Amino acid sequence: MGKNKKKENSKRKSQNQNNNSIKYIDEELNRMEYENAIINDKRSYFRYYYSLLEKKQLIILTFIANNGYNVFLLKFSLFIISFMIYFSINTLFFRDSTMRRIFIDQGKFKLIYQIPQILYSTLISIIMTFILKRLSLSQNELIKIRKEKDKKIANKISTEAKKNLKIKLYLFFVVGILLIIFCWYYIAAFGAVYPNTQVYLIKDTLISFIISMCYPFLYNLIPGLFRFPALKAKKKDKKSLYDFSKILSKL
């Protein structure tokens, strides 16, 4: 019995050494199962928080984050298309009531009347950008390949990943080009018909875009409040708390 225990302990030590020798990117650590995260995730709360911002905050994702498997050209395309979406959605919310309010206020911009449509357009734009993210970013597919230890299975996953990436990228560029054409045409037509509302539209779009860029800084503080107590629990029995933090991090 004593020999068997020694063998098991030596196996665990060797596995832990192998795990420690592997360099994981932040997203791989974020997705780990509870038992593996206890061993491998030695990051601080701030580092984990920043890893979420690299994934969810569009400016950081596009221009600053460089430790993932996402291609810069795709990230930049996503950024441009997303801004076009914010512009066009805000344009769609300019109705007769908005024009009437502009006329009553004698051309003065009053934020209080614009808040509802800014919030609606922000929410819709965030959802559309989230869908485009799923199509444009390649990191998820590559993580699946790295996660698999068996070479044969990894090769099968890689071939499937190539097919999935081709389909996703094709859809992204087709949808992106169509959106750019529609947004450009609609905004240009709106500006030609209502030239005096262009300043209002630009202000609403900038406010909407700034809100969407700021909310990740607040929301992503929450998942770490559940993750780190689970990882640092003495009895290592907080798996449900850890899983809850993973669900929050995906929203």
Distances (CA, A) of 110 to 104, 105, 120: 11, 8, 17
Q: Radius of gyration over alpha carbons of the chain, in Å? A: 24
Whether the Cβ atoms of residue 91 and residue 204 lie closer than 8 Å to each other: no
Please state the pTM of the whole predicted model. Answer: 0.81
Distances (CA, A) of 171 to 96, 103, 168, 187, 235: 35, 42, 5, 24, 47
The rounded distance, in Å, linking the Cα atoms of 88 and 182 is 9
Residue 236 Ramachandran class (φ > 0 left, ψ -120 to 50 alpha, else beta): left
The rounded distance, in Å, linking the Cα atoms of 246 and 240 is 10
Name the residue ranges covered by the structural domains of the chain: 45-220
> Over its length of 251 residues, how does the chain's per-residue pLDDT go in tens digits?
444 544 444 444 444 554 555 788 898 899 999 999 999 999 999 999 999 999 999 999 999 987 667 888 889 999 999 999 999 998 888 776 667 776 676 666 666 777 888 888 899 999 999 899 888 887 777 777 777 777 787 788 788 888 888 888 899 999 999 999 999 998 888 888 887 778 888 888 999 999 999 999 999 999 999 999 999 999 999 999 999 999 999 88
